[in-house]
Structure 1
Amino acid sequence: MKSTPHALTTVEGDQEGERSQRGIQSLDSTGALLDALLEAGRPLPLGDLARLAGMPAAKAFPHLVSLQKIGLLARDAQGSFFPGTLSLELGLAALQRLSPLREAEAEVAPLAQATGLSVALAVVGPLGPTVVRLEESSRPQHVSLRIGTVLSMVHTAIGRVCAAHLPSDMLAGALAMDAIRMEGAHPDSVCHADGNLRHDYAERLRQIRLQAMDQALGRPVPGIHTLAAPVFNHAGQLALVMAVMGSSGSFDTAIEGEVAQLLRAAAHTVSWRLGAFEQAAPMAPE
């Protein structure tokens, strides 16, 4: 996922027209260079970096020298610039302050309003995929989920999304407890005696990783459809699952439909806030 702009621009007043605070104009150029490097996602030589930032190389070079001196940038043997140790330290400090639930919370109500559906957030807890946030739809519908509900990794969209992104050495143990979860399944239905996944279930998880989404139509609650999407953290690990739920016939449940696109966009936004610029599925079970 591409990053969004972070240019260090002059601080403006608020919407009520307060007087603008005074900034340092040269830092705007510095910010443009940093933005260009982040957008490229790879080390860049002086000429390319200056061009992408929209300035002459002669103007860019002093900024880059200063950034290198303070450790925000470093330079490799070929002369290309890349983020330095101070950039790493600042990034780690920012990541340590992040809370997946807090970052996701900002997307819950807007998503519910945009879709007219209920929205749920779930994390992988000690007993399995656990609902930790539920925004009820304004439309009357019977959704049996409650905060604290632990969901099946076999028969629910939220649970399957969790299963699809668990490391393979953890998945067999997690599936062994599925019978105690809401609409749980006996592990033999999806696992062989040696712990390997049965073909149909393994293929379903592969499709979830490919599509970054799963759907459950009328199950586990008859007449209620669900779409669920993963949210990743800066290490590419599953942070939580975001889902929308609604009555049968009340919304488009297609994986590439309008509602799915809104859900996927919300999940991508939260992932970006958590530092997941590339949402590859790490350690995905085969």
Structure 2
Amino acid sequence: MPSWSIHRLITSSVVDEVRRLGYSCSEEFLRGVYEGVVDPDRSPDIESVTRVRVRRGKLYIREQKTYARHHGASKSIIDYYYNLSLYYARRGDLCKSGFMLGRALHYAQDYPLKRRKWLILDIHEKLEGEIEEIADDVINKGFCRDSEDVAKDVKKILKQSTKPEQVLCTSYRASKAMIMQYLNELREEVDKKKLAKAVRTVKTVKWLSGLVLWTATFALHSPTLLLFTIFASIFIAMYRPSIYYKAMRAGLMIVKPVGTKPAYTGQEKVPACHKP
């Protein structure tokens, strides 16, 4: 999106529609949302890309760090901040919850804007200018509202386009789906004890699997098995089953995204929510 005002326009319009559908949002939660929806431009997330090259028979591995993409953003970063918002909500911090949901909304709203046409022409600035011109009419007159009140899957909605109306409406519908999904999920009862037990079981199985692999490797003195054990250990360490993400949304643990250094990991203060 070209400006913070467009992000806030989309968000406030979605909140108004969601309220008309019978959902309630506290002022504390909304204060966090409206600050969070512009925050990725102030506090960017960092993506790391590992590049592997072979030159003159030698293997080179290089890690390249860049700011996280906004247009065509990684859906894992959207999921991360959505899950983090529920983590804080389950812990009773509605302002931080709204702030993290706002960051997820920012990436979802930026996602549809396609920077290039026919893979060659860079139309980024032109498209942003066209969006600025029509945003008030398209959003305020309700052109993007669906006839259905049932929220859809955010990931199925997110598609890129070079047409300003489609970019705005995709941003609007993805935002509506995300906010409704968040509010519906908060209504569900969560058995934290059962989830915590399941997480402990998975972690125990992972630890035992690694122990068995390394014990067998040292016992057999096999170079081939050693190589397999190294790769298997990396896989086991990085493996994140769905129960981890359920536990995060229940407020039990924070699962960081792979390949991204997020600006917020649960330890930082959020200025908009900090009470002196």
Question: What's the TM-score, normalizing by structure 1?
Answer: 0.22
Structure with bigger strand share is 1
Asked which structure has the greater CA Rg, the reply is 1
